Structure 1
Amino acid sequence: MSTEPSAYHRRVAAEKRAAILKAATGLFLASGYDSTSLARIAEAAGVSKATLFKQFPTKAALFDAIVTESWGAEDSGGPDPSAEDLRAGLTAIGHRYVELLTRPGMTALFRIVIAELPRFPELGEAQFSQGKLPYFESVSRYLAAAHVAGSAKVEDPTLAATQFLGMISNFVFWPTLLLTDWAPEPSAIERAVAEAVETMIARYRP
């Protein structure tokens, strides 16, 4: 007899996990990381404490999962962009980055980290090492590949990735931390990405 969980049980487990992550994010934002207990999260998620502890034995493990889940959209936009066509590749990456930054909950996640960072620096470490850094490194690798392919001359892919992502996030995302009504029109976002791409091409064209 197989000991593997059935498709039904896997689906139920996934639904409970999603409910836990959603409840935890909401409670962390409303009450703070320190003031929110795992028992309270279990109650808000509609699961037993045993179910929650089985998946997330500590609050830190739960927060790590929230970060990983939030940044997990990196490969959701289709195949890897071609390193031989810099304009098309950067455009695809730019729009994927916009989609990621504007996902529901992303702003809330950053607010949690910023609010709790003085007392819980490990939250910032989790956000950086498990979220932002892997995504950033994927863009850096693309720019390095473009350099090898000859579509760009990028001696420092790390710096170039910082420049490109910064141009986009400074318009699309960072204002949302201070302005609750910041919601640029799609055409404005499209232009921001296009201008970032053209700036990169002007700087790094072979």
Structure 2
Amino acid sequence: MSGSVTTYHQRVAQEKRALIVKAATALFLELGYDRTSLARIAESSGVSRATLFKQFPTKAALFDAIVTESWATADEEAPPPTGDVVDGLGIIGRRYAELLGRAQMTDLFRIVIAELPRFPELAHAQFSHGKMPYFESVRSYLLAEHEAGTVLVEDVELAATQFLGMISNYVFWPALLVPDWAVSAERVTQVVDEAVRTFTARYATQGPRPRPRL
């Protein structure tokens, strides 16, 4: 019985957390980070102030949670196995495009950009809690392929940036400036496939060969 009660309370806490994050994101977009108070977020989300303060004692902690949760699902997926860089990069590229296509990701970047002059710490949170952990997972995959001899990459950080940039520059960044920008599933597949072809044309090897030290 105690296990069922614990599970129930955990589920309720998770549901309230989701309501808080959703309400906070909407208010940050509407009013700005500075003008949005935790009390107003509690009212908008329908939870008590005590519940909100228990989960998020500060507004900065709440924003960190928004960033972390926006990128979280990407970190939960296992990296592709090494040995077939075309297949592996295709998996990574499709995951990345799907992640960037979510409404909350566009909302998150808009909040950071709008508040950057007064709250540069928000950009730091976005980078350190969101973008950087995801980027590190891609860098680690490319390093593993380099060690396996399927690619010859002297600068893994640059190579990861190039690959992700080929995708985000088409499917994500225009959406921040063009309200009606939409990319079909077929177009996303084409963008990812072309990014893989471009990357492998530059870095793929025909087989294991001596590599320079990283």
Query: What is the identity, as a one-letter code, of the residue corresponding to 2:96?
Result: Y
Deviation at 1:5, TM superposition (A): 6.3
Query: What is the identity, as a one-letter code, of the residue corresponding to 1:47?
Result: V
Q: How does 1:169-188 map to 2 (within 5 A)?
A: 169-188=168-187
Query: What does residue 10 of structure 1 align with?
Result: 10
Query: What is the identity, as a one-letter code, of the residue corresponding to 1:13?
Result: A
Query: What does residue 49 of structure 1 align with?
Result: 49
Q: Percent identity?
A: 66
TM-score by length of structure 2 reads: 0.92
Query: What does residue 115 of structure 2 align with?
Result: 116
Deviation at 1:187, TM superposition (A): 1.0
TM-score by length of structure 1 reads: 0.96
Q: How does 1:120-135 map to 2 (within 5 A)?
A: 120-135=119-134
Q: For 1:171-201, what per-residue CA distance to the aligned partner results, in whole angstroms no more than 9, with x for missing partners? A: 0000010011111111111100000000010
Whether the aligned pair in 2 keeps the contact of 1:111 and 1:177 (CA below 8 Å) is yes
**Where do 5+ consecutive residues of structure 1 fail to align?**
none
- Structure 1 residues 4 and 58: CA distance shift in structure 2, 3 A: farther
Query: What is the identity, as a one-letter code, of the residue corresponding to 2:33?
Result: Y
**Where do 5+ consecutive residues of structure 2 fail to align?**
206-214
Q: For 1:158-181, what per-residue CA distance to the aligned partner results, in whole angstroms no more than 9, with x for missing partners? A: 000000000000000000100111
Query: What does residue 208 of structure 2 align with?
Result: none
Query: What does residue 29 of structure 1 align with?
Result: 29
SS of the residue aligned with 2:98? helix
Query: What is the identity, as a one-letter code, of the residue corresponding to 1:10?
Result: Q
Query: What is the identity, as a one-letter code, of the residue corresponding to 2:140?
Result: R
Equivalent-residue separation in structure 2 for 1:50 and 1:4 (angstroms): 24
Equivalent-residue separation in structure 2 for 1:143 and 1:155 (angstroms): 11
Q: Does 1:67 align with 2:67?
A: yes
Equivalent-residue separation in structure 2 for 1:68 and 1:76 (angstroms): 12
SS of the residue aligned with 2:74? coil
Query: What does residue 156 of structure 2 align with?
Result: 157
Query: What is the identity, as a one-letter code, of the residue corresponding to 2:61?
Result: A
Structure 1 residue runs of 4+, over 2 Å off?
1-5
Equivalent-residue separation in structure 1 for 2:62 and 2:204 (angstroms): 43
Whether the aligned pair in 2 keeps the contact of 1:23 and 1:41 (CA below 8 Å) is yes
Query: What is the identity, as a one-letter code, of the residue corresponding to 2:155?
Result: D
Query: What does residue 58 of structure 1 align with?
Result: 58
Equivalent-residue separation in structure 2 for 1:135 and 1:188 (angstroms): 23
Q: For 1:44-102, what per-residue CA distance to the aligned partner results, in whole angstroms no more than 9, with x for missing partners? A: 0000000000000000000000000000111455x421221000000000000011111
SS of the residue aligned with 1:84? coil
Query: What is the identity, as a one-letter code, of the residue corresponding to 1:72?
Result: A
Equivalent-residue separation in structure 1 for 2:101 and 2:41 (angstroms): 25
Equivalent-residue separation in structure 2 for 1:73 and 1:101 (angstroms): 12
Whether the aligned pair in 1 keeps the contact of 2:75 and 2:134 (CA below 8 Å) is no
Equivalent-residue separation in structure 2 for 1:137 and 1:38 (angstroms): 32
Deviation at 1:132, TM superposition (A): 0.4
Q: How does 1:185-200 map to 2 (within 5 A)?
A: 185-200=184-199
